[in-house]
Amino acid sequence: MKKTLIAAALTASVALPAHAEIRINGFANLVGGVTSSDETLYGYDENFNFSQESLFALQASGSINEKMTATVQILARGENDYDPEFQWAYVTYRMTNNTSFSAGRFRLPLFKYSDSLDIGYSHHWVAVPQGVYDVPFNNIDGFRLDYADYMGDWEIKLGASVGTFENEVGGGVITGDNTYLVSAEISNDWLNVRTVYGTSTTTFSETQIDGLVGQFSALSPAFGDFYAINEDTANFFGAGFNIDRYSWFLAGEFTRIEIPDSFSSTDDTAYLTAGFRAGKWTPSLTYSVFEGDELKGSDELAALGEPLNSALRPIINAVNDRFAENYQVASAAIRYDYAANFAIKVDVSKYTDDLVEEDDATLVRFAINYVF
């Protein structure tokens, strides 16, 4: 059934007016990795794995008329047995030379590399810093308005998006209704600065959490309502910069995700990366941090009094231990541009867990990235 849908989509993208220009592009990442111990990191362990981050994608776009274009992207990930899935499927209407309106499924502009997140060839890493970029709402179904213009030597980009999303995370399913996002970006020939803010009405469903919420609600409806993520407001904030003098570069991003009225901790993430280019070689260093171990619900639990306080606190601590994360990753990478559309990369990443020392791990990866 899935193959039939894909074939139909590609056929539809080709069945455009005779004057339409059709563009079909693709990209692929072949990534292999192994850890230095029996610990796992990013899905890798002591056995060499080639499927965790490998992928293959095709993207087709074509003009519907002078003002409208259609775009579809189909991506197959190794971790999903290369089952193809639609990542993007949207129509864009160019309202003016500076303003465009899109509708369908598209990538949210959360990060510097959001649009090229899966295109390994477009950046110097084997993979983008996962602590920052691994969020459950990169793609949404909805509408997007983009504006771009120049002020002297500066290019200004403004964007606004609205829609819904649904994804699997933490062994459960998270959905976001009434998702809104605004972004602003300014850049010249060597400096780029951007910021983004988003909000969503979020619901998270997972077997263990749902069971606990039911028990808490039976004891205290107010505490059960606080603990659940059920149509709660989630906020996202991001900021980043990129200095690229071609011979060397320095870049960083910071994000914060919070759902104030729930058990979920506030996640603060950031990375800083630097490197230089010497002919076909690009060595770089990256340091990233993730802080999300805040224990929430203590004040609300204390308000219940005894014996509920003492009885429920171990349960709250156990849930926090399951979902809490606090770690740093230091990486060294080198990229070699074999050809204009073909790159080879190697990196070594040292993961340090501040909560569970036994989870520390070192990961070695190599990648072959190409576009066509």
Residues of the chain with pLDDT under 70: 1-20
CATH number, domain 88-371: 2.40.160
| Opening angle at CA 90, ends 85 and 91, nearest 5 | 155
Domain ranges of the chain: 88-371
What pLDDT score does 223 carry? 83
pLDDT of residue 103: 98
pLDDT of residue 263: 82
pLDDT, position 14: 42
Specify the residue for token string 């399951």: 322
The pLDDT, as a whole number, for residue 324 is 87
DSSP sequence for 126-181: SS--HHHH--TTSEEEEEEEEEEEEETTEEEEEEEEEEEEEEEETTEEEEEEEEEE
The pair of structure tokens assigned to 145 is: 């308005």
In whole angstroms, give the CA distance from residue 258 to residue 263: 10
Dig out the tokens for 161 from the structure: 């998006």
Average pLDDT for the chain: 90
CA distance 167 to 141: 12
Give me 284's structure tokens. Answer: 């770089």
Separation between Cα atoms, residue 257 and residue 264, nearest integer Å:
10
| CA contacts within 13 A on the Cβ side of 103 | 3
* 4: three-class secondary structure by DSSP: helix
User: Do residues 179 and 205 touch, judged by C-beta distance below 8 A?
Assistant: no
pLDDT score recorded for residue 20: 59
- pTM greater than 0.75: yes
Q: Which pLDDT does position 147 carry in this prediction? A: 98
Q: Look at residue 17 in the predicted model and tell me its pLDDT.
A: 54
Return the biggest CA–CA distance within the chain. 76
Distance between CA atoms of residues 118 and 109, nearest Å: 14
331 beta partners: 286, 349
Using DSSP bridges, classify how beta strands 99-107 and 154-169 pair: parallel, antiparallel or unpaired. Answer: unpaired
